[in-house]
Amino acid sequence: MTKHMFVEDARVLDINKLVKRGHLRYGERSTARMNWGRFEVRLEHDGRDALRVHFPDGRTQKLMVVRVPMRLGSRWMFHLGSRRTFKLFMPKDGDVFRSRTAWGLEYRSRHLSQKNRR
């Protein structure tokens, strides 16, 4: 039987939280730290389209970020090639941040009976 990985158990990198905390501003370089308990990453934004994630073991992941024009201004999103998203996930045993679909993450409520969903 396959072990299910759930969204609720994963670390979430939410671009809206980064914007709210002032870590993503176009034209301004910035650094930030995010932690999930004892696990901490350091983030570096180049002021344009690159966000680097530095992991505790010395690895680095480069993420592309874009500003998407909308009716009332614009919003930042992670650019994943053919898709864009506001959140990236990393399961407890994962090594990088990816989309929910790429990790195959599911919502826990999907595996509950209809009675237990309420």
For residues 76 and 19, the answer to whether their CB atoms sit within 8 Å is yes
> Hey, is 51 helix, strand or coil?
strand
For residues 96 and 13, the answer to whether their CB atoms sit within 8 Å is no
Q: What confidence category does residue 19 fall into, taking pLDDT thresholds of 50, 70 and 90?
A: very high
Q: Span 42-56, mean pLDDT? A: 96
Lowest mean pLDDT among 3-12, 58-67, 83-92: 3-12
Q: pLDDT digits over 72-110, tens only? A: 889 999 999 999 999 999 998 899 999 999 998 888 666
The C-alpha atoms of residue 10 and residue 88 are separated, in whole angstroms, by 10
